[in-house]
Amino acid sequence: MRASTIPPLVLASASPRRLDLLRQVGYEPATIDPADIDETPGTGELARAYALRMARAKLAVVQQRHAGALVLAADSVVVCGRRILPKAESEAEARSCLAKLSGRRHRVLGGIAVAAPDGRVGTRLVETIVRFKRLESGEIDDYVASGEWQGKAGGYAIQGRAAAFVAFLSGSYSNVVGLPLFETVTLLKASRA
């Protein structure tokens, strides 16, 4: 496809990490337009369904505002056992998340939704398994004091200080950062065809 026929890319996210990841693989959004939606999980909603629902809901809102564009939306969900952990908004929430993750495996689910200019929508769900070492109370205190947890699913940022907590990871590292790159690029290319 010639450069003049490539539709503009709209990123439906305010996450600087998602933007950095896209740029890392050569995609520069023409517009960044985050969707403001209710992110409350439904009663009894399973984590996999929730991650995809969030990505699709964000996509639907932004797609309406950018007809004829290529729109990318994503959501990251951290799941410990069957519990969906929040995007930590307070020190208490961050401490609670880190205490739950300490010494345990958890899943990071990345829901991705891409709308092609002709309205076709493609979705993917990516799962990464992460295991934290057992965290000492001082490590939790120091991490909370860093502020890195703010607004992060599960109360941590793997690309920052929390990298020292990771004893094991299976799957997509970029998914844990905020956007599974292989699957995202595959969807973007398919949507341009």
33 annotated active-site: no
Nearest to 32 by CA among 72, 79, 83: 72
- Cα diameter, the chain: 56
Structure tokens, 147: 């502020």
CA distance 187 to 168: 28
Helical pair 16-24 and 181-192, crossing angle rounded to 10 deg: 70
Residues 165 and 51: their CA atoms lie apart, in Å, by 24
State how far Cα 27 lies from the chain centre: 17
- Amino acid of residue 158: I
Q: Catalytic residue, from 20, 36, 75, 141: name it.
A: 75
- Using a 10 angstrom Cβ sphere, with 0-12 exposed, 13-18 middle and 19 or more buried, the burial of residue 23 is exposed
E-assigned strand segments in 98-159: 105-115, 121-132
Catalytic residues: 75
